Amino acid sequence: MHPVVKLVAQRLVLSTLLLLAASVLIFAGTTILPGDVAQSILGQSATPESLANLREELGMNDPAVTRYFNWLFAALQGDLGTALTNGRDIAESVGQRLSNTLFLAFWAAIISVPLAILLGLVAVRYKDRWPDKLISAVTLASISIPEFLIGYLLMFFLAVQLGWFPSIAMINDDMGLLQKLQSIALPVMVLTLVVLAHMMRMTRAAILNVMQSAYVETAELKGLSGFQVIYRHAFPNAIAPIVNVVMINLAYLVVGVVVIEVVFVYPGMGQYLVDHVSKRDVPVVQACGLIFAAVYIFLNMIADIVSILANPRLRHPK
Amino acid sequence: MNDQLDYLSGRVTAGKMTRREFMGKAAALGVSAAVASTMFAKAAKAADPVKGGTFRQGIQGGESTNTQDPALYASDVPIAGGFHWGETLVEVDNKGQLNGLVAESWEGSDDAKTWRFKIRQGIEFSNGKSVTAEDVKRTIERHTNEDSKSGALGIVQGIESMKVDGDVIELSLESGNADMPYLIADYHLIIQPDGGFDNPNAAIGTGAYVLESDEPGVRMQFVRNPNYWALDKYAHYDESEILVLNDATARTAALQSGQVDAISRVEPKIAQLLARAPNVTVNNVSGRGHYVFIAHVDTAPFDSNELRLALKYAINREEMVDKILRGYGGLGNDIPVNAAYPLFDDTIPQRAHDLEKAKEHYAKSGHDGSPIILRTADGAFPGAVDAAALFQQSAQAAGIPLEIKREPNDGYWSEVWNVQPFCASYWSGRPVQDQMYTTAYLSTADWNDTRWKRPEFDELMISARAETDEAKRKEIYSKMGRMLNEEGGLICPMFNDFIDAVSTSVQGYEGDPNGELMYWKAPKKTWKTA
């Protein structure tokens, strides 16, 4: 077997095992959550009778191991169960929220990833001169400000004062693509500012590292222009660390944007998960946990595979 | 001069100025009587409701776990939604009067044990079915049901039997209760076809609007109910929308940028700033909600009334209204009711901040000087942690060793409130005194969070229920209030105002002590100028 195929297959199997392990952790974690679903659903208005009635109705008396395997097999068949709190089908509600989250993450990524890499390349080209310093200063400043504050600032100036964009990014199926894009403009801007610095700095560092190599010097001696050296010779060899950082940031855009969702009232997964955690709606928490874990593991697997494929020593073994 | 005239016209339109006042002020500006008279007519006409448009509210308190089942309503967004599509038998209006909704009229027997509600003639549910007395009976049955999860269980438990007699539903109570019509106005008791037994989430009722789409925790959309029974008076908007805006900054930004027409829960600290924004009116209404510190009167050291009195004198109520509510509220008097309740006795003396008396009572209590633990959390009420710190400082000035223990919000209502002997909490109030006392001060109440168990208090409460002479009832409630004020475990420093904000284009707004945004009836009762 070709070693690359073997390595990729290895990654796939490892990722699947990791996901399985994550599912055990998620299940165990949600089982030992303190508090009680029935109490949380009824809140302050719970009476002992209504509590007892609800607890029985939810069937919370089976042993944990049985419940784990029932849950796992159902989940494998795409059946995530129904939410305890409102009786809705989880797969359906999560599907809507997940597609919203992916929509936001997609547009944030489309803008931030190329922008970060481009800025990284520019920074390398003008290393230690003013463009490099300006780019680093701006992106590092924006990553250092808490994201909700950037959100509020943009909201105040661009939505309340200038009225260019809506302050709440509520999207729904009745809206056309352009309307949706206008709606999510502010959160996309904030997310871009938040993830830019990390990717830009890594691109800069990785390429600078390669720039020390002898073959880059050769390329320069051949008379290639600065950008051509970076683009044709340095960048392909720096791709592995860059892809890793890009994937981590993409994963963050999917699973870590709950603050932005709250600030801009965006109907994504984060808010959905938080609502259900506070109500102890265990099946929903488990489903969201599983999806988040899958996204994380999948993106990291992609990063690994791209690194393998980008490495000529692995592609052309002796 | 034009600006001033415009301003005056605006006051007329808003219903805040009479014709006489307007004519007088216009004359002072040099406008002839004939012109002024025409202007008044024009301005007053603008006060007539205008039909059409979309009303959008940004409301705090909605989760993706919400349902449309009225029995499970526990936060603001579902309640506001329920009042779009559904109605109760009667409602308590903003002056404390009862209005018939699904019920056209009602009467109680002399002993207040039997109540007859006559169903309004010819009204229909939004699915086209006529409303019958049977539907009302089934609705109450669903909330009384043994396996009911209803928040109104406590209210309907007292109903012994129900009888349908043509278009009249007759409720027989275990013991007399003169407040029955007030209790039946509870937001859980929205009348549903067949009581909602087949599908409690159907959102079918007799309300002014019909639910069109529902994304829990995100938004609800409604359109006017074409068959609503009071279309001539209410339901002025073509469409109404609720957006769930749980973040305070998101709410104010949405109102300022015109994405919504009204918002709930304006934080006291920004109310004055927001009022300065153009096109926004901030309203505050004193309500029945109160922020409290509660001590279990059966647990040491709080079993000593001297110690309770020491704490009551040590707390600085004015400072709390000032600093925690920023002036948007009233002083509490260690009684769970205030002037917003019918039959309230306002001659009960207000307890003042008195460190000398606090020291005196503390000395008499013989407390050993060990720390008195007060539990609090951010979620206990807005500003609860700060309020506890203020309490601690003023208590220390009286030599009382109060110590704060901060608890997580998560699980506060299950692990701390009604479990620990001394903690911060809040009550949102009830429409009548009896209901407030029944919920939390009756010996057998589940939510007796001060462990106040006095047979003589219970007897007074029961006797007040069946008392149909209002003067006598008021006297009984006064006695109960004084008992709690002197001996209760409730330390109530303040009653909080409701603060909401609406766009200036919204007309017909009237504050309602029952709740925010006209107790969620703004979509039904307001309209927008073009």
Minimal C-alpha gap between A71 and chain B (Å): 20
Nearest residue in A to B446, CA atom: A47
Question: pTM here?
Answer: 0.80
CB contact under 8 A, B65 and A281: yes
Query: Which residues in A lie closer than 8 A to residue B201 (C-beta atoms)?
Result: 87
Minimal C-alpha gap between A272 and chain B (Å): 6
CB contact under 8 A, A50 and B63: no
Residue A241 lies in a domain: yes
Minimal C-alpha gap between A112 and chain B (Å): 25
A170 → closest Cβ in B218, B411, B415: B218
Sequence-ordered list of residues with C-beta below 8 angstroms from that of B5, at least 6 positions apart, any chain: B26, B29, B31, B39
Concatenating the DSSP letter of every residue in A34-103 gives SS-HHHHHHGGG--HHHHHHHHHHHT--S-HHHHHHHHHHHHHTT---B-TTT--BHHHHHHHHHHHHHH
Minimal C-alpha gap between B417 and chain A (Å): 9
Residue B184 in contact with residue B139, Cβ under 8 Å?
A: no
Residue A283 lies in a domain: yes
Sequence-ordered list of residues with C-beta below 8 angstroms from that of A105, at least 6 positions apart, any chain: A191, A250, A253, A254, A257
Minimal C-alpha gap between B146 and chain A (Å): 8
Q: Quick check: B148 contacting A, CB < 8 Å?
A: yes
Residue A131 lies in a domain: yes
Residue A74 lies in a domain: no
Nearest residue in B to A52, CA atom: B147
CB contact under 8 A, B257 and A159: yes
As for how many domains chain A has, the answer is 1
Tell me which of B155 and B195 has the higher pLDDT.
B195
Query: Which residues in A lie closer than 8 A to residue B258 (C-beta atoms)?
Result: 163
Mean pLDDT in residue range B287-296: 93
Nearest residue in A to B67, CA atom: A86
Residue A225 lies in a domain: yes
Query: Which residues in B lie closer than 8 A to residue A155 (C-beta atoms)?
Result: 249-250, 253
A167 → closest Cβ in B72, B257, B447: B257
CB contact under 8 A, A42 and B149: yes
Query: Which residues in B lie closer than 8 A to residue A276 (C-beta atoms)?
Result: 64-65
Burial of B279 (0-12, 13-18, 19+ CB in 10 A): exposed
Q: State in Å, rounded, how far the first CA of chain B is from the last one.
A: 24
Residue A250 lies in a domain: yes
Spatial separation of the C-alpha atoms in residues A273 and B420, rounded to whole Å = 30
CB contact under 8 A, A36 and B414: yes
CB contact under 8 A, B149 and A53: yes
Sign of CA dihedral B189, B190, B196, B200: negative
Q: What's the pLDDT score for residue B12?
A: 60
Mutate: best of A265, A273, A281, partner B, most B CBs <10 A: A265
Per-residue pLDDT of chain A (318 residues; tens, 9 = 90+): 677 788 888 889 999 999 999 999 988 887 776 666 666 666 555 677 777 777 776 666 667 787 788 788 888 888 877 777 777 788 888 888 899 999 999 999 999 999 998 998 889 888 889 999 999 899 888 888 888 899 999 999 998 888 898 888 888 888 888 889 988 999 999 999 989 988 898 888 888 888 888 888 888 888 888 788 887 888 888 888 888 888 889 988 988 888 888 888 898 888 888 888 877 778 888 888 889 999 889 998 988 888 888 877 777 766
| pLDDT tens column, B210-231 | 999 998 888 999 999 999 999 9
Residue A58 lies in a domain: no
What does R_g of chain A's alpha carbons equal in angstroms?
24
Q: Quick check: B150 contacting A, CB < 8 Å?
A: yes
| pLDDT tens column, B22-71 | 666 666 666 666 566 666 655 555 568 889 999 999 999 888 888 999 99
Q: What's the pLDDT score for residue A68?
A: 83
Q: Quick check: B201 contacting A, CB < 8 Å?
A: yes
A160 → closest Cβ in B58, B247, B253: B253
Helix, strand or coil for residue A162?
Answer: coil
Mean pLDDT in residue range B251-255: 92
Containing structural domain, residue A254: 90-315
CB contact under 8 A, A278 and B67: no
Neighbours of B6 (CB within 10 A): 12
Q: Quick check: B408 contacting A, CB < 8 Å?
A: no
CB contact under 8 A, A43 and B413: yes
Strands B54-59 and B262-263, by their bridges, are parallel
Residue A192 in contact with residue A172, Cβ under 8 Å?
A: no
Residue A293 lies in a domain: yes
Nearest residue in A to B415, CA atom: A35
B257 → closest Cβ in A43, A160, A262: A160
Minimal C-alpha gap between B409 and chain A (Å): 10
CATH number assigned to the domain comprising residue A296: 1.10.3720.10
